[in-house]
């Protein structure tokens, strides 16, 4: 099974880059600074991670820091999984 980071990256490439895999997208690529996603994109990502990973993202968690990179989004997902398991 693909890692959380891989699943997030694949979704971003498909939905926000039109499937263009020639553009390098690492775990640390700054998604907003590189104009890959915008504020609407963040909300689309929230929907994706809630559906894909079965976690609930509260309004207070929808911050630029939590969605600045694939790595940051994966950390948010990991934190949500831990808090829902406990």
Which of 1.10.1200.10, 3.40.50.300, 3.40.50.2300, 3.40.718.10 would CATH assign to domain 4-85? 1.10.1200.10
pLDDT for residue 10 is more than 80: yes
CB 50 within 8 A of CB 57: yes
Cα within 13 Å of Cα(14), Cβ side: 9
pLDDT for residue 11 is more than 90: yes
pLDDT for residue 59 is more than 70: yes
CB within 8 Å of 78: residues ≥ 6 apart: 4
Task: Read off the pLDDT of residues 18-55 as tens digits, 9 standing for 90 and up.
Answer: 999 888 899 999 999 999 999 999 999 999 999 999 99
- Structural domain spans, the chain: 4-85
């Amino acid at each position: 099974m693909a890692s959380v980071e891989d699943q997030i990256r694949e979704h971003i490439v498909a939905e926000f880059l039109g499937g263009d895999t020639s553009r390098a997208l690492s775990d640390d690529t700054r998604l907003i600074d590189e104009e890959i996603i915008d504020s609407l994109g963040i909300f689309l990502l929230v929907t994706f991670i809630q559906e894909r990973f079965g976690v609930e993202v509260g309004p207070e968690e929808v911050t630029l820091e939590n969605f600045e990179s694939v790595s940051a989004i994966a950390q948010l997902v990991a934190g949500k999984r831990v808090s829902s398991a406990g």
